[in-house]
Amino acid sequence: MKKLNVGMIGGGFMGKAHALAYAGMPMFFWPAPAVPHRHTLVDVTDEIAKEAAAKLGFDNYSSNWREVVENPEIDIIDIVTPNNSHAEIAIAAAKAGKHVICEKPLARDAAETKTMLDAVEAAGVKHMVAFNYRRTPAVALAKKYIEEGRIGNILNFRGTYLQDWSADPNSPLSWRFQKEIAGSGALGDIGTHVIDFARYLVGEITDVNAVSKTWIPERPVQSGGADKLGTVKSAGDVPKGKVDVDDEITTLVKFENGAVGSIEATRNAWGRNNFLTFEIHGDKGSIYFNYERRDELQVCFSDDPGDAKGFRTVYTGPAHPYGEGLWPIPALGIGYGETKIIEAYDFIKSIVDDTTVSPNFDDGYRIAVISDAILESAEKGQWVNLDKTPVKTN
């Protein structure tokens, strides 16, 4: 069986998720198109990289990502670093002929993202951006219903991504609050997942109109580079640094096909943990999804009998997308890991089959264009129409 060697740049939380995906993928999707092999892990120092490699099951480690990118044994470069380093690594990897999978958002803005898209297209390598949530089986089931016309023409999309891990003003100033590193705040970090849902399920967005808020203007400076997503609280008298990104974004959206809707992203919603939801109204039915209860999709069909009409709670399992490969009955439990395992499967399959996978760098670029427009709209206080940037058909 074919083997593909992975060089992973970054060994933090996302690195763990990707490593689990590589280890678990063949177990779930067998026969695997190819077996991903955890070849080399890169982190900022040799010491850190060595430990991460041991922890995550990589054979080798390095603190020099350029060497790894150039290593002829490596087939895939997997980028799980903060946003500001994505472009440089991805471009180098593409030039070295490696297939590239990169965490989201691809880069800090559309212009930077475009350089990545151009590089992978020029190199002819496979590319993917890790909007893993659309690979939740329930989300793929929503896509299936829509494509089969079971909820009719879509009228409305309302998406939210609400979290509270940074609602506490003592939650530290990680890189996610710094524009120079992150590009934007809640928008890029979580809002882009909702934009990905919107494009995946409804279609292209043509216009946005947003408000943006930074609720906590400064935060305790973090000691150490680790990004603990708010679990480390600073004590009283630490120095504080400026937050220069959004804590919250809400935007109206219009779609090419006439649908309208809204997207909301905030990290200041006490009690919401990973409240990534969408509600879609079609002229023949409705769909509701909430990632916090990700085994479930709720769907209402307008042609149900009058005395038995209402939202069905469908638990995904073998009868649903990706289900044959997962667990044998519904509700055994889809976790974060499974979304990443499916993502790895689809990416590796696209390499072996020489096909295009979605979402790829073109999708990532389109999302960056939308994100920029959202920020522009919030700043100017007006609708922003999106230049019809060329969108590839996948």
- Report the site for its own copies in 109-168 (rule: CB under 8 A): 141, 144-145, 150-151, 155-156, 158, 160, 162-165, 167-168
3 binds its own copies (CB under 8 A): no
Tokens of 3: 């083997």
| Nearest in space to 344 (alpha carbons), one of 132, 144, 176 | 132
Radius of gyration of the chain (CA): 21
Q: Which of 334, 344, 368, 374 lies at the binding interface for its own copies (CB under 8 A)?
A: 334
328 binds its own copies (CB under 8 A): yes
- Residue 36 one-letter amino acid: P
Cis peptide before 359 (omega within 30 of 0): yes
Return d(Cα 72, Cα 88) in angstroms, integer: 19
Report, in Å, the least distance between residue 182 CB and its own copies.
16
Return d(Cα 294, Cα 335) in angstroms, integer: 8
Judged by beta carbon, residue 45 or residue 393, the one nearer its own copies is 45
Report, in Å, the least distance between residue 218 CB and its own copies.
15
Q: Restricting to residues 345-374, which ones interact with its own copies according to CB under 8 A? A: none
Q: Restricting to residues 275-314, which ones interact with its own copies according to CB under 8 A? A: 275, 279, 281-286, 291-296, 298-302, 304, 306-314
Judged by beta carbon, residue 141 or residue 351, the one nearer its own copies is 141
Tokens 């043509």 correspond to 206
Contact 268, 167 (CB under 8 A): yes
54 binds its own copies (CB under 8 A): yes
229 binds its own copies (CB under 8 A): yes
Q: Which of 108, 135, 199, 272 lies at the binding interface for its own copies (CB under 8 A)?
A: 272
170 binds its own copies (CB under 8 A): no
Judged by beta carbon, residue 49 or residue 116, the one nearer its own copies is 49
327 binds its own copies (CB under 8 A): yes
262 binds its own copies (CB under 8 A): yes
Report, in Å, the least distance between residue 166 CB and its own copies.
10
What is the secondary structure of 155-213 as a DSSP string? EEEEEEEE--TT-STTS-B-GGG-HHHHSSSHIIIIIHHHHHHHHHHT--EEEEEEEEE
Report, in Å, the least distance between residue 113 CB and its own copies.
25
Q: Which of 266, 350, 360, 371 lies at the binding interface for its own copies (CB under 8 A)?
A: 266
| Nearest in space to 218 (alpha carbons), one of 192, 237, 242, 194 | 242
20 binds its own copies (CB under 8 A): yes
Return d(Cα 36, Cα 3) in angstroms, integer: 6
